[in-house]
Each structure stands twice: as structure tokens, then as C-alpha cells.
Amino acid sequence: MRGASPRPIQDPKWFDKESDIGWLRIADVTEQNGRIYHLEQHISKLGQEKTRVLTEPHLLLSIAATVGKPVVNYVKTGVHDGFLIFLNPTFEREFMFQWLEMFRPKWQKYGQPGSQVNLNSELVRNQEIVLPNYKEQQKIGLFFKQLDDTIALHQRKLDLLKEQKKGFLQKMFPKNGAKVPELRFAGFADAWEERKLGKIFNYEQPTKYIVKSTEYDDTFNTPVLTAGKSFLLGYTDEITGIKNATVENPVVIFDDFTTGSHYVDFPFKIKSSAMKLLSLNDNSDNFYFMFNTLKNIKYVPQSHERHWISKFSEFEIYKPSQEEQQKIGSFFKQLDDTIALHQRKLDLLKEQKKGFLQKMFV
């Protein structure tokens, strides 16, 4: 059965903060990764007359926006018309949740394009599936539920570490208008010196390091990087025009348009010229401290233009003594290494789950 939505959905009369009936939206599914334990919005008695209200746990399937995403809902809620509800199921709920997760890429291919992709409910209704007996469904469902719980635990640990780092960045670097940070290591009390970023970092144009072919392969040796969020685009077999960054001589790749940046301490090539390669002007400065100083700058680009020369090189920052730089830089390097380790563990668990989904379902 398809959910139903009161219209116009923006009308406040459909909602009531005091109601014990929630309102399930696609955004809730994304935020809670398909397992709904709480809802921000609640639907009024008038709104409940215009939707499908569930008072017990049910399996749902998103057929709009986030197409093919399975959902287990554990709370009382009205269901948006962007979901299908599996009523009176003869399957074990957790088993089917995992099967739908495995099948999701195929639902996305079936999606009907428009202003947003939608999934035809008839396709779902007519989809054939091979089921084991109920006891085996329970075994498989429990196995994947435990794996999901482990993944969720590692995700929470990773999120906590990232939040802790944000807090340390705020306290261990001077805030706007301040010349010293709120939190310092014992034994340091001297004032920090003001410097322009352009005096801290030298920049190099990246033209000679641009990859000639974008036919990447994981069997090749040299990584191709971008200063954007994706960072690693792939690997190339090109052997010339390689930027030989090392642990002893790292660089920062700085996106000249978005102002995103990454610390790099290994040889690499790049995809485009829309970046600057930054190195220290004074090697007695601590590179990792200066990298975090750069990352800690609160700046949102307002236009599509290059920013290093015109903006960032002119920004004033504060730097402490070399000894204090070393302390702070080492602290954040260890913290980032710990975050990276947890990220690798999480990625490995997710890959293991993909493998099990492929092997344990028909």
C-alpha cells in the first residue's frame, strides 16, 4: 500500500507538536539510515485523516527522491506518499529489509525520471523473489542486523572523534580578535605573532603535474588527486610529471575556487589546474600546525573566482613559537591519524557487508 500526504503539505494545520503520531519524511530516512526511532515532525488529528497511520513497526520502501531505500519504522507515524508500506507480510522483516538493500541499485535503474526520480509501485508489487524458509530468514536477518549495529557503533565513534576535533580547533587556535588561544599546552605563555598566509606558504602552479589520461585503474601506482571532497580520483600509470611530496616534504593542495584543501605526503598527479600547491616558506615552521591554521579559517566563497592570491594570501593569522607549533601540530596529526584509522575500519565493515549481501541472497 502506498502512503498518503495531506495537501498542500506546507499547510501548518496538518501538524501538531503535541501529537504522539509522527510524520515520516524522506529526510528522516537519510538522517537515520533507514531505521526510524524518532521523528521531528508530528501530524495533527486533521492531518491523520489524510494519511496512512502506522502504530506498530513496519517495513517501508522509498519510491520517491531516495529511490529504493528500505525503511524499518519503529514509531507511530503517518506515512508520506513517497513510501510503499508492506502490510501483512509473510516474510521476516529484517531479512526483507536487507534483501531490499541489496536490490536497491536495480530499483534506481527502474526509476522514472522527472523533476525527481520516482519508482513505479507496480514494479515493486510484481518483483519476484526467492525466499528461504522462515527460520533461515530469521538467521540471515539477525546476522545482518548485528553487522549493521557494529557499523553504526563505528560510525558513532567516528562522528564523536570528528566533533572532538572541531572543539579542539576552536579552543587551540585564536578566535577572531584574539591573539592567543583559549586552550594551551603547559609551559607556553608567550603571545602569538601575526603573519600573512602569503608569508607562511609559497605556492606552485600545478600545470606540469596534470594527468594526461583519465583512464584510471586501481592496479596503477600513482594516485590522481583533487582538492575537492572526493580527494582521490583514481590511479594512473603515467611516470612523468609527478609531484614528489614526502613525509619530510609534504604539500597542501588548495582548491582555488572552493578553497578546500588536503594535506599530502606522498607522490601524486592532479586532475586540473584549478588549485595551488602550497609548501612552507620557512621549514622551521611546523607544517601540520600551519595546515590546520589554514583549515581553521572560516571563509565561504561568494563568487566563482580564484582565491589564493586575491584573498587567502592576504589573510592575517597568528603563529606561536616553533616549540608550541610542534606540540599543537603533533597533537592534531595523531588525532587525524586516529580518525583515518576509524574511517578505514568503517569502510572495511561496509565493504564486508556488501560482499555478504551478494553471497547470502539469491
Note the pLDDT of residue 116.
61
Q: What's the confidence (pLDDT) of residue 336?
A: 96
Classify domain 12-131 at the CATH topology level: Adenine-n6-DNA-methyltransferase TaqI; Chain A, domain 2 (3.90.220)
Mention every residue, 6+ apart, whose C-beta is less than 8 A from residue 258.
Answer: 227, 228, 301
| Residue burial 167-198, b: 16+ Cβ < 10 Å; e: rest | ebbeebbbeeeeebbeebeeeeeeebeebebe
The pLDDT score that the predictor gives to residue 107 is: 80
Note the pLDDT of residue 111. Answer: 60
pLDDT of residue 302: 84
Where are the chain's structural domains? 12-131, 137-188+320-362, 193-319
Stretches in the chain below the pLDDT threshold 70: 110-117
Residue 58 in grid coordinates: 513496519
pLDDT tens digits, residue range 162-187? 999 999 999 999 988 788 999 999 99
Task: Report pLDDT for 265.
Answer: 97
Q: Domain 137-188+320-362 - what CATH class?
A: mainly alpha
pLDDT at 66: 82
pLDDT at position 252: 97
Q: Residue 81's Cα: distance from chain center in Å?
A: 27
> What is the radius of gyration, based on Cα positions, of the chain?
26
pLDDT at 114: 52
Give just the sign of the alpha carbon dihedral 138, 140, 143, 145: negative
Do 134 and 315 form a contact (C-beta atoms < 8 A)? Answer: no
User: Comparing 137-188+320-362 with 193-319, is the CATH topology the same?
Assistant: no
CA-closest candidate to residue 346, choices 131, 148, 137, 62: 148
User: Fold for domain 193-319?
Assistant: Adenine-n6-DNA-methyltransferase TaqI; Chain A, domain 2 (3.90.220)
Instruction: Say what the pTM is.
Output: 0.84
Q: What is the pLDDT of residue 279?
A: 97
